[in-house]
Amino acid sequence: METLTLNLSSPLIRHSPYLCSRFMSWFSSTSVARVPMQAIAFGTLPVMSRAQDFPISGTDGALVGFITGKSKVTELAHSVWGSLVQKGDTVVDATCGNGHDMLALLKMVANGSGRGCVYGMDIQRSAIENTSLLLKESVDEDEREMVKLFLVCHSKMETVIPKDTPVRLIVFNLGYLPGGDKTIITMSTTTLMALQSASHILHSGGLISMVVYVGHPGGREELQTVESFASSLPTESWVTCKFEVSNRPTGPVLVLIFKK
């Protein structure tokens, strides 16, 4: 008998059409009785192969999901963050967008004691507003107080994060605001400045995570800028990795920059 773990109240899931659709697609293929539902808890989905005689097991769900085309690169990124970030950490969302990364990060650092902090920034007022709204809908006031939001370009992060803050993780989700004005995109010049700032701010043992989109005009150039910066970092102090789907030339690329 199969067991489903459902968390109908999870806003992280309620706001993830992709996870919902993955679940619904899987659910419709099973023979168990249908029940009304709106959402499924993050991380409880089995990763499945199309070939029914080759079911996929294993604990590295997001990695195997990415390899087999079942999970998006953002899910792989979230999984990596979750393996690194500890309760009580300070982390930075350099491109808030609609707030989904921010919400995931807040859940990773919040420990109920008020320790932990998420700095968030975006150059677009609508992004800050959407993020605030999502947080208001999703978490209580105690957790919201752990978030510091700034209407500022990611290249200015050093002006809003106090010097010597032990930052564990800095995440970027580049490109344009989903559902917003697609002509407003992150630019290579400011992204490079943001990366330089991030590399200064980041604590030893911390990670910079960038999801880089290349399907829009300017996206490919931005990836080149990110790669050029990442590959120039000395191996004594940095490990920089790139994960990409090679047969989808417009697919997003995950660049991870770890400070030893």
The residues of the shown chain that bind a second copy, judged by CB under 8 A, are 49-51, 53-60, 62-64, 66-69, 79-80, 82-84, 86, 166, 168, 203-207, 227, 230-235, 238-249, 255-256, 258, 260
Which residue's CB is nearer to a second copy, number 21 or number 86? 86
Which residue's CB is nearer to a second copy, number 149 or number 256? 256
Work out the number of other CB atoms within 10 angstroms of the CB of residue 137.
12
| Contact present, 104 and 80 (Cβ < 8 Å) | no
**Strand-pair category, 117-122 with 202-212:** unpaired
Which residue's CB is nearer to a second copy, number 39 or number 214? 214
d(CA 247, CA 179): 26
CB of 92 to a second copy, least distance (A): 15
Which residue's CB is nearer to a second copy, number 58 or number 217? 58
Tokens 């970092």 — which residue?
233
CB of 26 to a second copy, least distance (A): 15
Tokens of 27: 């659910």
CB of 52 to a second copy, least distance (A): 8
**Strand-pair category, 253-259 with 202-212:** antiparallel
d(CA 151, CA 101): 17
CB of 69 to a second copy, least distance (A): 4
